[in-house]
Copies of this chain bind each other. A is one copy, B any other.
Amino acid sequence: MFRKVLVANRGEIAVRIIRACQELGIPTVAVYSEPDRLALHVRYADEAYYIGPAPATESYLRMDRIIQVAKEAGADAIHPGYGFLAENADFAQACRDAGITFIGPPPEAIRAMGDKVQARRTMMAAGVPVVPGTAEGITDEEALAAAETLGYPILVKAAAGGGGKGMRTVHSPEELPRALAAARREAKAAFGDDRVYLEKLIHPARHVEIQILADEHGHVIHLGERECSIQRRHQKLLEEAPSTAVDSDLRRRMGEVAVRAAQAVGYTNAGTVEFLLGPDGNFYFLEMNTRLQVEHPVTEMVTGVDIVKEQLFVAAGRTLRWRQEDIRMKGWAIECRITAEDPFNNFLPTGGKVTYLHEPSGPGVRVDSSLYGGMEVSLHYDPMVAKLIVWGETREEAILRMRRALEEYRIGGVRTSIPFHIQVMHNDAFIAGRLDTRFVERLFAEPNTLPREPQVVAVAAALIQRERERRTAIRLKPHRRLPSPWRWAARLEAVRP
């Protein structure tokens, strides 16, 4: 096993990885940017190194500096988490060149899957079904012609893309030029590469993905599927495992295809093969995420496999501890991504100081969080600040448990996506398991069906207002004694109706 592991990331995923290392007795090294001095990953790690100012390009994306810190600290392995350098083949190569184990797949596999068009070609050759589409780097004119052949609606996607960046849905030829321009701009800004390609839109489709584990001795297994259809602008908001659309036969077939996809690029370590699942039960390879996923905990909760620990074992050259037949899914898991975004204001990212924090717990609840009381939520990084994951014997129990956990979650000072998730947990289509990638769009088109209690709010507001006025009055009359504690009781039995 490794002597010391450097975690080249921040936020909840850095905490997740540090915890796994601690539970294996491996010392850890954190790196941090200026605003992250007090972040949990810095405080939980054994050692921490400052690597630069807030912008990621000057800190968490500085490969040279991170490798230098690893050498200085004597770390013999680097875990990249997700995002930042996780799918950067050059970084994986630089680690290898420096004699440091990159806890992830080999750079060749990252490259093979990183170029979406090459990946499509490789997958087609390996007999993996893909969505019909064009080559990458097409011109706007070529795109218009290809779209006619494929048939609308189509998707415009960035060749270098990922995470929904540089992606646009187009319903008619008139919308295409504008969508192409926007996608190219975003792709250029995010990846420095404005090449795009088109894909036929499968509709209604579910986004279902298969978790893969592969060791360096030729063993590849899958841990079943995750349902990730609940997305907004191609960003996942909520995931579950298993999927209500997948039975054991489909799971086996998708799993076998996913294993074949991984084998086709010589994949090792943990990875995820994303599929679109059509209403006819056909599924199409979308892309492979050559890293740990945000939503890996739902798979952990239903299979009992600790994916991050397995990553460490496999990267250290060990044989997978599990055979395919050992993997059984038990119960149901749901994950809500808690983001510092205002769901009542178009999901605009919100910064601010966390003035109060109370996270849910109790049976079947797991919180993977970067939050702490007093934290300044920075607008420099991804707005996802925590993940709330629950397990239940059944999907119904998981939903009821998620409701109570969301109701317990209190974050003061920062607006979050929690109310959105409460709404989903009470939505009839969600409860019935009727999901596709347009779920969120429809949800926002419908009126909110949560019970309204305006009379309760009115009474509370009046009492709060009275107290404000009273305090003002007291400030004007400093000799009057301040009633303490701040409280009004109307307990006189006489007034009970």
A binding-site residues for B, Cβ under 8 Å: 15-16, 19-20, 22-25, 44, 50, 297, 300, 304, 306, 330, 356-359, 361-363, 365-369, 372-373, 392-393, 397, 400-401, 403-404, 407-408, 491
Which of A361, A372, A393 is most buried by chain B, counting CB atoms within 10 A of its CB? A361
The distance in angstroms between the C-alpha atoms of A304 and B373, with both chains bound, is 33
Contact of A22 among B22, B356, B373, B400 (CB under 8 A): B400
A19 touches B306 (CB 8 A): no
> Which chain B positions have C-beta within 8 A of A365?
366
Which listed residue, B306, B330, B372, B407, touches A363 by the CB 8 Å rule?
Answer: B306
What residues on B are CB-neighbors of A15 within 8 Å? 362
Which residues of B are found within 8 Å of A25, using beta-carbon distances? Answer: 400
Would you mind naming 6 contact pairs between A and B with Cβ atoms under 8 Å apart?
A306-B363, A357-B373, A359-B359, A361-B366, A362-B368, A363-B366
Once A25-B400, A404-B19, A408-B44 are accepted as A-B contacts, the answer to whether A361 and B367 lie under 8 Å apart by CB is yes
Residue from the list B369, B392, B403 in contact with A361, Cβ < 8 A = B369
Please measure, in the bound complex, the distance between the C-alpha atom of A361 and the C-alpha atom of B392, giving whole angstroms: 18
Q: A23-B401, A44-B408, A400-B25 are in contact. Are A491 and B50 (CB under 8 A)?
A: yes
Shortest CB–CB separation between residue A142 and chain B, in angstroms? Answer: 48
- Within the complex, the shortest CB–CB distance from A357 to chain B, in Å, comes to 7
Chain B residues, Cβ within 8 Å of A403: 22
Collect the chain B residues with CB atoms within 8 Å of residue A367's CB: 361-362
Q: How many copies does the complex hold?
A: 2
* Complex Cα–Cα for A300 and B365 (A): 13
Task: Write out the residue numbers on chain B whose beta carbons fall within 8 Å of the beta carbon of A397.
Answer: 23
In the assembled complex, how far is the CB of residue A44 from the closest CB belonging to chain B, in whole angstroms? 7
Q: Are B362 and A361 in contact (CB under 8 A)?
A: no
A363 with B400: CB separation less than 8 A: no
A11 CB to closest chain B CB, in angstroms? 13
Q: B19, B23, B400: which contacts A24 (Cβ < 8 A)?
A: B400
Contact partners of A363 in chain B: CB under 8 A: 16, 19-20, 297, 300, 306, 366, 368
Q: Which residues of B contact A19 (CB under 8 A)?
A: 362-363, 404
* Residue in contact with A373 in the complex, picked from B50, B356, B401, B407, CB distance below 8 Å: B356
- Of the listed residues A304, A358, A397, A407, the one surrounded by the most CB atoms of chain B closer than 10 A to its CB is A358
Distance between A317 CB and nearest chain B CB, rounded to angstroms = 20
A50 to B493, CA, bound (A): 12
If A304-B330, A358-B372 are given as contacts, then 13 extra A-B residue pairs at C-beta distance below 8 Å, sorted by A number, are A16-B362, A16-B363, A20-B363, A23-B397, A44-B404, A300-B363, A357-B358, A359-B359, A359-B361, A361-B367, A362-B366, A362-B367, A373-B373
From residue A329, how far is it (CB to closest CB) to chain B in Å?
14
Closest B-chain residue to A389, C-beta based? Answer: B363
For A20, A297, A359, A363, the residue with the greatest tally of chain B CB atoms inside 10 Å of its CB is: A363
